[in-house]
Structure 1
Amino acid sequence: MNYILLIVGFVLLIKGADFFVDGAAAIAKKMGIPAMVVGLTIVSLGTSAPELAISTISSIQGNNGIAIGNVLGSNIFNTLVVLGVSSILAPLIIKKAPVVKDFAVNLIITLILFVMAFDGLLGAGEDIISRGDGIILLILCISYMAYIVISARNNPEVCVDEEAANIKVLPKVIISIVGVAGIVFGGQIVVDSAKEIALSLGMSEKLVGLTIVAIGTSLPELVTSVVAVLKKENDIALGNVLGSNTFNILLILGVSSGINPIAVSPSLAMDFIFLIGITLLMIGIIFFNRKSQEKVLSKKEGILFVALYIAYTVYIIMRN
């Protein structure tokens, strides 16, 4: 029964996120908000909503192993599987100049989180993401969103969308509310059923968060990026992953640790190091040839990313 509830919860999460993104994006278009801002904020926040719901609920219930594992697992899944599968289905053309700062932000906040999480390992206290750390992460999140908005204003888009005039705001608001409800209820169901499955199989909370929950909550990112690549919208595919990874750390762990300080298991140090390693690998692959203005992620590189994820999954299961 718990497995059925887990599936139902994931369906509610994914469809809820889908409704929220569609509704919010339409409202933004009606209000004349630039597409770049919509993509980097609303779409990324929308596809990260399942992670936010599950991690927040887990934190309230004191199941912080799921919260921290969910974020780490989701970011690893996004980096390797979402981009990997996207580039397997179609060559993923990346324009280097627009994404340099986003890659830098992603790497820096991952390193900051590592320092916050392993104060004890670094000889500066306990391995806890405290409420103070959570506040710092939320301040960085607000600063990042402000940076995006300011950058958009400094580089205004010239775009006339005739469809915007025909958008009715009220139905889109209702769709957004329904989406949020699906995310909240779906998140509650996933947390409860995943915990019961973990106990019945003798699995730890952090393993469930790193695998089952992380993969399930990352499905919106996977679907969004795959569809974007097939439609030749490569910037959306990459921006969705980078934006989601950034908000997963800054917003989700900021909110979760603000509610309830997160005790970090020493074994998660390897998962952090792996995430930092694959982020550096991605940066190296994309920016290795400085003379070229574009990088094409090929099918071979996509297969490499997916293979790395499979190897990582086998490792954490055996570790448990």
Structure 2
Amino acid sequence: MEYILLIIGFGLLVKGADWFVDGSSNVAQLLRVPPILIGLTIVALGTSAPEATVSIIAAAQGTADVAVGNVVGSNIFNITLVIGLAAAIYPLRVQNEMIVKQIPFALLAAVALFALGSDVLLQGSGADILSRGDGIVFFLFLAIFMYYIIEVGLKSRKETKAVRDSNVKWGKSTFITLLGLAAIILGGQFVVTNATEIALSWGMSEALVGLTIVAVGTSLPELVTSISAALKNESEIALGNVVGSCIFNILFVLGAASLITPLSINPVIFTDIWIMIVLTILLLIFSRTSFRIGRREGIILALIYVAYTVYIIIRN
């Protein structure tokens, strides 16, 4: 029965995120929000909603390894397989703003996670914990990022014309958004509960569950969205979705989860945090290559995820 509920949970997450993104994007169009803002905020937040739901529920249920592992695993999945497959389908153009500000901010968020969580290494404490104070710090960083995004949006808002499509209406868009959010919350509950039970019955650790099964499942919306955007030659949406999601996953998701209850960090996960940091640097390097992420770089990123998956399974 757990397997059926797990599949239903993933289905609700994916479909719920799809509705949430569609509804939010329509609302953004009605508000005349420019494409760069849609990719980095509306779409990124929508596709990060499963991670947020799963990690917050996991934190409330006391499974901190799933909460933290889900975020770190999702970010690694996004940077490697999501961008890798999207670039392999169609090379992604990278704007200078993405290289100078947005990817470096994602790197800052990753380094902040390592610094705030390394209580044993940096402070000599008895355990590594993301405290409520750390959660507040994450939200302060998020406020800075949102201020920057709003500033960008306001500067380019005049260039975006108001929507004249009669099919895009406030009532319908709001309903779809709320319906998607409800599906995400219910699906997240199913995923956390049943994935944990199944994995533990297999002898897997909670950390491995969060880094693999749950992380991949909650990252499916990013994968679908970015591949769809790549097929439509919408590089801003494809890349902005991933970078924005990585930022939201750390600053918003772990910030909210640690505010609910302090999260103890499994020492094993620090290796994965370092891998996430290195991969973010690699993404920055690839992006600076002729201001594009080509098919060769995409294939390399995808192969890195395959190697990483093999590594964490063997490590367990």
- Report the TM range for the smaller structure's normalisation: over 0.9
More deviation, 295-304/77-86:
295-304
C-alpha displacement at 1:76, in angstroms?
A: 0.1
The residue number in structure 1 matching 2:10 is 10
Question: What TM-score do the two structures reach when normalised by structure 1?
Answer: 0.94
Matches within 5 A, 1:169-248: 169-248=170-249
| CA spacing shift, 1:59–1:19, aligned 2, 3 Å | same
The residue number in structure 2 matching 1:59 is 59
CA distance in 2, matches of 1:284, 1:318: 29
Q: Does 1:306 align with 2:307?
A: no
- SS of the residue 1:103 aligns to: helix
Identity among equivalent pairs (%): 47
Question: What TM-score do the two structures reach when normalised by structure 2?
Answer: 0.95
The residue number in structure 2 matching 1:266 is 267
More deviation, 52-61/144-153:
144-153
Q: Structure 1: which amino acid aligns with 2:284?
A: I
The question of whether the paired residues in 1 share the 8 Å contact of 2:36 and 2:240 is answered with no
Q: Structure 2: which amino acid aligns with 1:76?
A: I
1:34-55 Cα shifts (integer Å, max 9, x gaps):
3332322111100000000000
1:80-110 Cα shifts (integer Å, max 9, x gaps):
0011001111222222344420011011111
Matches within 5 A, 1:35-46: 35-46=35-46
Matches within 5 A, 1:1-320: 1-125=1-125, 126-164=127-165, 166-287=167-288, 294-320=290-316
CA distance in 1, matches of 2:263, 2:176: 33
CA distance in 1, matches of 2:32, 2:287: 33
Q: Structure 1: which amino acid aligns with 2:249?
A: N
Number of equivalenced pairs: 315
More deviation, 182-191/162-171:
162-171
- SS of the residue 1:266 aligns to: coil
Q: Structure 2: which amino acid aligns with 1:308?
A: I
Q: Structure 2: which amino acid aligns with 1:89?
A: I
CA distance in 1, matches of 2:91, 2:108: 28
Q: Structure 1: which amino acid aligns with 2:58?
A: S
Off by >6 Å, runs of 4+ in structure 1: none
CA distance in 2, matches of 1:154, 1:251: 25
The question of whether the paired residues in 1 share the 8 Å contact of 2:30 and 2:162 is answered with no
CA distance in 1, matches of 2:166, 2:68: 43
CA distance in 2, matches of 1:4, 1:319: 28
Unaligned runs of 5+ in 1: 289-293
The question of whether the paired residues in 2 share the 8 Å contact of 1:30 and 1:164 is answered with no
1:6-54 Cα shifts (integer Å, max 9, x gaps):
1110110111111111112112212333333232211110000000000
Unaligned runs of 5+ in 2: none
1:88-138 Cα shifts (integer Å, max 9, x gaps):
112222223444200110111111110111121224423101011011111
CA distance in 1, matches of 2:116, 2:55: 18
Q: Structure 2: which amino acid aligns with 1:107?
A: L
CA distance in 2, matches of 1:63, 1:163: 47
Q: Structure 1: which amino acid aligns with 2:223?
A: L
CA distance in 1, matches of 2:16, 2:269: 30
Q: Structure 2: which amino acid aligns with 1:314?
A: V
1:152-209 Cα shifts (integer Å, max 9, x gaps):
2234341325435552211221111111110010000000101111111011111010
- SS of the residue 2:208 aligns to: helix
The question of whether the paired residues in 1 share the 8 Å contact of 2:35 and 2:236 is answered with no
